[in-house]
């Protein structure tokens, strides 16, 4: 695995003369000492580190191929997600913009049936228009028939750090005034479960995700819904 990962990193470094390990550390969020040890093949990275690096050095089919080879269970899950939603894994420059709360909101609006400059100005003011201009300049967003669209109609992020950042953005953008509408809710469940309960919960979440994919594919429209969910152990025996 280390050899294959180093090949991907080397290809990324060679693609532009301005690239180096320090830049990769900043863009991926992987601490430089950890990155250097992985690059020198001194120790094996965690899955979290691998996903963060792949999101920069090998977006798209290369990332899926690497995961299917070295982390087959994760690779099959990601492949199913991407194919189920007919989505793509965005490039590293898009990942950087998704870390910004307002850029994330603009991208979300533009990827769902498009948006307009007037809507962005009304919602996010001068900062929003400056972020929009940057997204247009980098060809992440384009204009067609007076509406603004994101480069990818559907996209999937595999970097766990970035996923958590986007969930935080979803929380920050939550509009309490809309509580009571069909798609506006906030819930949290924390409970002690036995092993059988954990397995049942995981199975239901997977079924829920499959149902969501069907709805997303079948019921396209102009209502922009942000849906985030997370399950984690607070304590694991």
| Domain stop point among 150, 176, 196 | 150
Name the DSSP letter for residue 176: G
Cα 66–Cα 14–Cα 96 angle in degrees, nearest 5: 65
Number of independent structural domains in the chain: 2
pLDDT digits (tens, 9 = 90+) for 104-163: 999 988 887 789 999 999 999 999 999 999 999 988 899 888 899 988 766 667 666 777
pLDDT digits (tens, 9 = 90+) for 8-64: 999 999 988 889 999 999 888 889 999 999 999 988 888 888 888 887 888 667 777
Residue 110: CB partners within 8 Å, gap ≥ 6? 135, 141, 148, 149, 150
In this structure, is residue 209 part of a structural domain? no
Is the Cα dihedral 59, 62, 68, 71 positive or negative? Answer: negative
Q: Do 6 and 66 sit in the same domain of this protein?
A: yes
Q: Do 104 and 141 sit in the same domain of this protein?
A: yes
In this structure, is residue 33 part of a structural domain? yes
| Domain stop point among 115, 150, 185 | 150
pLDDT digits (tens, 9 = 90+) for 173-224: 888 888 778 878 878 788 889 999 999 998 898 888 888 888 888 888 888 8
In this structure, is residue 182 part of a structural domain? no
Predicted local distance difference test score (pLDDT) of residue 92: 66
| Domain stop point among 16, 37, 71 | 71
In this structure, is residue 181 part of a structural domain? no
pTM of model > 0.95: no
In this structure, is residue 109 part of a structural domain? yes
Q: Do 62 and 102 sit in the same domain of this protein?
A: no
Domain that holds residue 56: 2-71
In this structure, is residue 110 part of a structural domain? yes
Q: Where are the alpha helices (H) located in the chain, listed in sequence order?
A: 2-15, 21-28, 32-39, 47-57, 61-70, 72-84, 92-98, 101-111, 117-137, 160-172, 195-218
């Amino acid at each position: 695995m280390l050899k294959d990962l180093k090949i991907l990193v080397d290809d990324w470094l060679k693609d532009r003369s301005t690239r180096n390990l320090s830049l990769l550390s900043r863009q991926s969020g992987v601490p430089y000492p950890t990155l250097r040890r992985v690059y020198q093949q001194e120790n094996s990275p965690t899955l979290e580190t691998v996903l963060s690096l792949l999101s920069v050095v090998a977006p798209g089919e290369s990332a899926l191929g690497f995961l299917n080879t070295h982390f087959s269970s994760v690779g099959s899950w990601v492949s199913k997600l991407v194919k189920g939603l007919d989505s793509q894994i965005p490039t590293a420059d898009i990942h950087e913009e998704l870390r910004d709360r307002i850029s994330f909101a603009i991208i979300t609006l533009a990827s769902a049936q498009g948006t307009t400059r007037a809507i962005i100005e009304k919602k996010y003011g001068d900062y929003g228009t400056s972020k929009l201009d940057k997204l247009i300049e980098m060809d992440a967003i384009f204009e067609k028939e007076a509406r603004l669209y994101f480069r990818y109609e559907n996209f999937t992020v595999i970097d766990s750090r970035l996923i958590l950042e986007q969930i935080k953005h979803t929380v920050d953008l939550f509009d309490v005034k809309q509580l009571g509408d069909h798609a506006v809710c906030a819930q949290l469940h924390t409970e002690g479960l036995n092993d059988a309960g954990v397995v049942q919960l995981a199975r239901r979440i997977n079924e829920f995700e499959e149902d969501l994919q069907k709805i997303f594919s079948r019921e396209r429209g102009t209502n922009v819904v942000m849906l985030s969910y997370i399950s984690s152990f607070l304590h694991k025996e």
